[in-house]
Chain A
Amino acid sequence: MSAPPASPALDTFPRLLLHHAAVRPDHPALREKDLGIWQTWTWRQVAGEVRALACGLAAQGFERGMHLAIIGDNRPRLYWSMVAAQALGGIPVPMYQDAVAAEFVFVLNDAEIAYAIAEDQEQVDKVLESMSEVATLAHIYYDDPRGLRNYEGVTSFERLQEIGREFDAAHPGFYEAQIAKGHAEDVSVMLYTSGTTGKPKGVCQTHRAFIASARGGCAFDRLTADDRMLSYLPMAWVGDHLFSYAQAMYAGLTINCPESGDTVMTDMREIGPTFYFAPPRVFENLLTQVMIRMEDASAPKRWLFRTFMAVAKRCGAEIMDGKGGIPLGDRLLYRLGSVLIYGPLRNVLGMSRIRVAYTAGAAIGPDLFRFYRSIGINLKQLYGSTETCAYVCLQPDGGVRLDTVGIAAPGVEIRISDNGEVMVRGPMLMKEYFKRPDATAETIDAGGFLHTGDAGLIDSDGHLKIIDRAKDVGKLSGGAIFAPNYIENKLKFFPHIKEAVAFGDKRDHVCAFVNIDIGSVGNWAERRGIAYSGYTDLAQKPEVYDLIRQCVEEVNADLARDPVLAASQVHRFLILHKELDPDDDELTRTRKVRRGFVAEKYGVLIDALYGGKSVQHIETLVKFEDGRSGMVAADLRIEDAATSGQAAPARAA
């Protein structure tokens, strides 16, 4: 055994906590809005609470290497539970709070959970319900006592801490000794993958990995103890663990827990976070709300808004990136707009103080992305997964681009394999999948590279561009890479296009099915006085084909700019006579296209696309919402789209 270092290294989270309690004892560590008032805990107080909690768990028999299930919304006590478990050499296992009891059973069994901390009655009920199928589960603690007074066999958080304080008094030095035993290579947390493909897997991350990740992230965006963050995303998700736990514990910054899921917007305005993360969906909802409210504003206000948003669109993002070549007039107008429109707008969104905002998890639309950047919100993208402590790529300030996910983060090596798969190596890789050496070996190769399963490419500036899931990527018969999702997403960014399905694997060129968005195209048609009876009728209007062709050709022009993807421009397309629907098994319940099924069902259309036909008759069986089914028949037009880099072919039809 090696002797402990003379000055305690800050290489585990419990040590970081002690460090902050000593260095900045009165700095706010956590806030929670309770009964309408923000309650604050300083680092010193948090250290005290965690100590009592850890000793309580120890007194109850929690030992090194054990797993502690943590279930609930973002609550200070649940975050404390994580450090407390780590202080004892245990491993916290945060679980998704919206999962049903049956889903709990798998994780509780897989992680051999004996101790669980649940937020409230709802979670306690689910844990109790799964208890009959989880042999190991013996101790349940709860945070919010509401509705739990008559429950037996569960212990309150206060009681646990009381037991802890008694234990601490009787065993002086125990707590410090436990923390001293901790090692950077110990597993610090186990996060379960979502399990969309098969059973969830427990990803084991070490203190070293998460601290490296936090250090990298904090250095990259210059996060300090004075930053503040709103924690509202599930604690079981790797992003929250990095942003709200690892980075906070590393930098000593302040975490704010909203009052409830419904109050996040209000709480955000009150707290004014400096660092913010949200999936694209949240940014989209916020923008929609703003636009709807602007519609109701008076005419002069609407004019002001439109005028200055046009200015922002023209030069806002460039000004933030510090680019040159912007006319002085625009700069002055933008300055004026900041006072009149952008500043107040940021304030309404609760984003006045934001220095860095990230989004990830899904493709973000170009208009959406540009909107936030143009009003002065430093929105950036990152790329990573549970296996890599949330990120491997980050977009640097001033180097933000829509279609890439940024450059390799400090200390990360990225390689593209021969078949186009992104592979990464670095300090933040997971140690292993829990009890799944087979899956671990499959994911991390002998060279220490983790295979992400995503297909991507690195452009000349070193920016990584993710194009698709590796298993979906095919090849055109000419040998060029074909990434259907990438093309479909580009098409779907147009408000007129709701769904798109691209074909091209082992073919000469790419063709696509398109579903129009009936709301958006219907509105467009009404304004032009185009009469239609329903979806099928509207979809086959020549004017609509013209509209969609413009979209397709814009995508083509965009694809042509990238030498690797230029070959996958869409040559021919058709608009489907019915909307793709989960009820007809064409989409999954989460609205992802089941490409194989669609290709088979509409084989005759694909043949027509590649056979050069201009019209194809089709009859399809559809299920209605009331369970009845019927036939939809139509003669579908098939049209060519101009591709860049060659003369536009004559229009068929």
Chain B
Amino acid sequence: MTSAARTAGETILELEGISLAFGGVKALTDISFDVREHEVRAIIGPNGAGKSSMLNVINGVYRPQQGTIKFRGRVRRDMNTHDAAVQGIARTFQNIALFKSMSVLDNIMTGRNLKMKANFLEQALWVGRARREEYAQREKVEAVIDFLEIQHIRKTPVGRLPYGLQKRVELARALAAEPELLLLDEPMAGMNVEEKQDMCRFILDVNEQYGTTIVLIEHDMGVVMDISDRVVVLDYGKKIGDGTPEEVRTNQSVIDAYLGVAH
């Protein structure tokens, strides 16, 4: 694989008429968009626009009342989280969801859980398959650690790390699953400028090196415009814009949504 990594390929994920409501609250209304292979696709919008709900629909945390999800040619009403993971969808969370008292290494190892075949007994006794598997999986994990440059905190409990590094560890865990589609929920929220730049570089590196398709939610418009290939804009659960960063930047309804409009 060569420079193909950065040029988008075929559509791998297609969302068709997704509507999601919690009781009377309509979180998402009739949303359709697609994600092409190897691209960086951003979802933006003001607070409460339904961005995180959208990600939750994609990896099966929420079941939409209407609409279909087509992933890798297979159409379904909803995903379930396990299926999503098996099919190569990994994600990070807006409010970090790591095991705080476990080491960085152990946390990232959990990202390889699905790839381990050893049964409970073998793992408990540390024999046969369990041991061989762990060695093999550890190697993959170490490659990710090297990739994200977190060797120095390998053995540190996650709870002791600063926020920016925890975010990176979470990305590492998602990467350890060797996903085809990576969902990032506000990977840069709460970071300082330097941490943001690091994170941007890592996201682009992941995209380039592994050819991973990335869907990310982000508030920082500068970041979004810099690193994404195409952008979806949501507002009050509706799609109000879709296109390249330049197209979205000049879209009047997007400008209204972000800057407000005189009533």
CA separation between A35 and B138, bound complex, in Å?
Answer: 9
Q: At the interface, yes or no: B106 with Cβ under 8 Å from chain A?
A: no
Q: Which residues of B contact A432 (CB under 8 A)?
A: none
Is A35 a contact of B152 with CB atoms below 8 Å? Answer: no
Take A35-B146, A266-B152 as given contacts and tell me if A149 and B205 are in contact as well, using a CB distance cutoff of 8 Å: no
Proximity bits, A34-55, B CB within 8 Å = 1, else 0: 1111000000000000000000
**What's the nearest-Cβ distance from chain B to residue A230, in Å?**
15
Choose from A35, A36, A149, A260 the contact partner of B149 (Cβ within 8 Å): A260
Choose from A36, A149, A266 the contact partner of B145 (Cβ within 8 Å): A36
Is B152 a contact of A147 with CB atoms below 8 Å? Answer: no
Q: At the interface, yes or no: B142 with Cβ under 8 Å from chain A?
A: yes
Is A36 a contact of B154 with CB atoms below 8 Å? Answer: yes
Is A147 a contact of B209 with CB atoms below 8 Å? Answer: yes
**What's the nearest-Cβ distance from chain B to residue A125, in Å?**
12
Q: At the interface, yes or no: B3 with Cβ under 8 Å from chain A?
A: yes
Q: At the interface, yes or no: A629 with Cβ under 8 Å from chain B?
A: no
Proximity bits, A222-242, B CB within 8 Å = 1, else 0: 000000000000000000000
Q: Which residues of B contact A533 (CB under 8 A)?
A: none
CA separation between A37 and B142, bound complex, in Å?
Answer: 9
Take A35-B139, A35-B142, A36-B142 as given contacts and tell me if A146 and B152 are in contact as well, using a CB distance cutoff of 8 Å: no
CA separation between A263 and B145, bound complex, in Å?
Answer: 13
Proximity bits, A568-608, B CB within 8 Å = 1, else 0: 00000000000000000000000000000000000000000
Q: At the interface, yes or no: B62 with Cβ under 8 Å from chain A?
A: no
Is B145 a contact of A150 with CB atoms below 8 Å? Answer: no
Is A36 a contact of B147 with CB atoms below 8 Å? Answer: no
Is A150 a contact of B3 with CB atoms below 8 Å? Answer: yes
Total contacts A to B, CB within 8 angstroms? 35
Which parts of A237-286 form the interface with B (CB within 8 Å)? 259-260, 262-263, 266
Query: How many of chain B's residues touch chain A, expressed as a range?
Result: 10 to 19
What count of chain A residues pass the 8 Å CB interface test?
Answer: 14
CA separation between A503 and B139, bound complex, in Å?
Answer: 62
Please classify the interface of chain B as helix (H, G, I), strand (E, B), loop, or mixed, using the class held by over half of its residues.
helix
CA separation between A147 and B146, bound complex, in Å?
Answer: 13
CA separation between A83 and B155, bound complex, in Å?
Answer: 36
Q: Which residues of B contact A34 (CB under 8 A)?
A: 146
Q: Which residues of A contact B152 (CB under 8 A)?
A: 259-260, 262-263, 266
Take A36-B145, A263-B152, A266-B152 as given contacts and tell me if A150 and B209 are in contact as well, using a CB distance cutoff of 8 Å: no
**What's the nearest-Cβ distance from chain A to residue B164, in Å?**
14
CA separation between A648 and B143, bound complex, in Å?
Answer: 69
Q: Which residues of A contact B154 (CB under 8 A)?
A: 36
Query: Which A residue's beta carbon lies closest to that of B149?
Result: A260
CA separation between A160 and B186, bound complex, in Å?
Answer: 43
Q: At the interface, yes or no: B250 with Cβ under 8 Å from chain A?
A: no
Choose from A146, A147, A150, A260 the contact partner of B151 (Cβ within 8 Å): A260
Q: At the interface, yes or no: B229 with Cβ under 8 Å from chain A?
A: no
Q: Which residues of A contact B138 (CB under 8 A)?
A: 36
Proximity bits, A19-63, B CB within 8 Å = 1, else 0: 000000000000001111100000000000000000000000000
Take A146-B209, A147-B205, A262-B151 as given contacts and tell me if A35 and B2 are in contact as well, using a CB distance cutoff of 8 Å: no
**What's the nearest-Cβ distance from chain A to residue B212, in Å?**
15
Q: Which residues of A contact B139 (CB under 8 A)?
A: 35
Q: Which residues of B contact A266 (CB under 8 A)?
A: 152, 155
CA separation between A147 and B142, bound complex, in Å?
Answer: 18
> Which 3 A-B pairs give the minimum distances between C-beta atoms?
A262-B152, A35-B142, A36-B142
7 contacts between A and B (CB under 8 A): A33-B151, A36-B138, A146-B209, A147-B208, A150-B3, A259-B151, A262-B152
